[in-house]
Structures are given as structure tokens and as C-alpha cells.
Structure 1
């Protein structure tokens, strides 16, 4: 795996978010090194969930694509925009003019066999990595996401802050529509 400064240690000044970004950057940068050998120049790891979802479900509105990928609408929209500029997906207006339907282009569909092989290799490498860990990483990430769905981190921070007299009272988190 590619190393970066501090990747082998966990400095006290780095928080959980920094460590998670470092982990993701290490994983994604190493996956990206496979793409040129597969003829996938300019392809990014974040495109694969879009390709896999569209291959499995066919054309989808961005909202449904985001749901299938487990990301926000904004994140899906940004990724789709990048893929559209590379000619991998096309957008069409849906029945409701506010909806945009995403479909793989011929160029995008042509990548599927190489991406299937890459996916199998990544899954095997993930299994090897998880065998070295005290807990399966994927299960830990999913359990963490479920816990945060039950009780957002913002609420946990606010409760912890109440116990620290040097911190001011934090405002209630904004209410987001479901």
C-alpha cells in the first residue's frame, strides 16, 4: 500500500476525521493505480458505485442512484457530473422536468468487464486486509453508520459539551427534512 507521512502512526493531534480521510485516500489511491493497466485512464474509484448501480438497476434518477449508492444526492450529482464530462454517463430529463435520469453511455458500458475484474481483485484484497484486523472493517463502518443514523454525532458532541464547563452551550442542531 502507498504510504504517506504519519500513515504508520496515529499522532495525538489528528482526529478521527483526519484518520478516516487518510485511510480512504490510501485505499482509493492504491485502487486508482490499477486503472491505467486496465485501459481506464482518467477513471476514478468514486465512479465505480455509479457504474455498478446503473448496471444492476438500469437508468435511474439521481435521487434513486444516490440511495442505491448510500450517498447524499449532492455527492451523487457531483460524481455524475464528472462522469458525464468524461462521456461515461448521459443525463436526460425525466417525466418531471426537475428530475434528471442517469444512464451509462456505450463508453461507460464498455468498462464493465474490466471493472468487474477490478472489483473481484479489490474484494479479495479487502478480505486479506480484514483478516489482519481485529474487526472486519466493512462491518465496523456499517455498524458506525447505523449508530449515527440512530443518534447523530452532533447530538453526541452536544451532550459531551454539556459535561465540560469550559465550553459554551451549543445550539440545537438544525432540523433536516427526512
Structure 2
């Protein structure tokens, strides 16, 4: 068994699990000759397929990431030729849309999504609770009461404001 981070290093363990999952999905992409495609692109592609071209702000909301994270992902996807940016309703807004190249890749990407979803179901069968349920429960609990508040409640209050 691979060495795991210590149990108290929860953030490190979460990153480790994400690296294990995303790393193997990235291997699948490379095997499918999609070396420029990243696991983080799939939620963007799925949102754009479902809703059509979107401003980055709306895309970020649809995917569940920050505006900054969405902007970075869109920039990478643009460099890979998967999305185009066009002017939006005003000069500050840019719409993100899928390119013909992205549409050409959809059969392969869709097959990977299906296989990955099935693989996740088999992984879930080995766990005491499906991973998505646990992560959803975790995100909900942290939204309800942020971790910083929990740290303060455990005895380490936030420092006073700087003057």
C-alpha cells in the first residue's frame, strides 16, 4: 500500500486523493490521444453543452468554482483550441463557447465520461458512503459553519484587525 499522509493532515490527504483520481483520468486522456485535455475541462464542457455560450462569471457559477479558477481554466482551454471567447453584452464581458475542435472530440470525451462514471460507481461500492455524498455533506457543513470559525471555536481566535 502506498504511504498516506498522516490522518491529521486532512488537506494533504484530500489533495492526494484528488491527484490519484485526476492523475489516472489524465492517463486515460493521454491513451486516447487527448494529451492537451485535462480533467478540470470536463465540467466546463458539460456546462457549455447544456447552456450554450456563457460569460465566465456564469460559467464559474455553473461549474461551482471561483471566477479566478474559471478564468484560468478557460485560458488553458482557449490555448488548447477547445473554447473561443467572444464579446458579450458589454465591453467587460466575454462569452465562452465550445470550438469545432471541442465538438469533434465529444464522442471520445463522452465515452470517457461514461466509463469514469461507471468506475466511480465501482469505487463507491468499496466505500462506507459514496464519495460524492461525503463530499457534498462536507461542503454543506463548511458552508453552514466555515472551518475558520471551527478553528476559533477550538481555541485559536482570529487575530485582531491590523491598524
TM bin, normalised by shorter chain, reads over 0.9
Q: Which stretch has the larger CA shift, 53-62 or 31-40?
A: 31-40
* Structure 2 Cα separation of the partners of residues 172 and 100 of structure 1: 40
Tell me, in whole angstroms, the C-alpha distance in 2 between the residues paired with 1:48 and 1:73.
17
Contact 1:50–1:69 (8 Å) recurs in 2:
yes
Divergent runs of 4+, >3 A: none
Cα offset, 1:42, TM superposition: 1.6
Conservation of the 8 A alpha-carbon contact between 2:56 and 2:67 = yes
Cα distance in 2, alignment partners of residues 60 and 91 from structure 1:
10
Structure 2, unmatched stretches of 5+, are: none
1:11 aligns with 2:6: yes
Give the equivalent residue in structure 1 for 2:38.
44
Instruction: Report deviation, 1:10.
Output: 4.4
1:26 match? 20
1:58 partnered with 2:46: no
Corresponding residue of 2:121 = 127
Q: Map of 1:116-155 to 2, 5 A cutoff? A: 116-155=110-149
- Report if aligned partners of 1:92, 1:102 keep a CA contact under 8 Å in 2: yes
Provide the residue aligned with 1:176 in structure 2.
none
TM-score scaled by length of structure 1:
0.85
Asked if 1:87 corresponds to 2:81, the answer is yes
Judge conservation of contact 1:161–1:170 (CA < 8 Å) in 2.
no
* SS class of match (2:155): helix
Match of 2:150 among 156, 160, 170: 156
TM-fit CA distance, 1:36: 2.4
1:117, distance to aligned residue in structure 2 (A): 0.5
Q: Which runs of 5+ in 1 are unaligned?
A: 163-168, 174-178
Q: Is the 8 A contact 1:51 1:112 kept in 2?
A: no
Query: What is aligned with 2:108?
Result: 114
Normalized against structure 2, the TM-score is what?
0.92
Instruction: Give the Cα separation in 1 of the matches to 2:60 and 2:16.
Output: 24
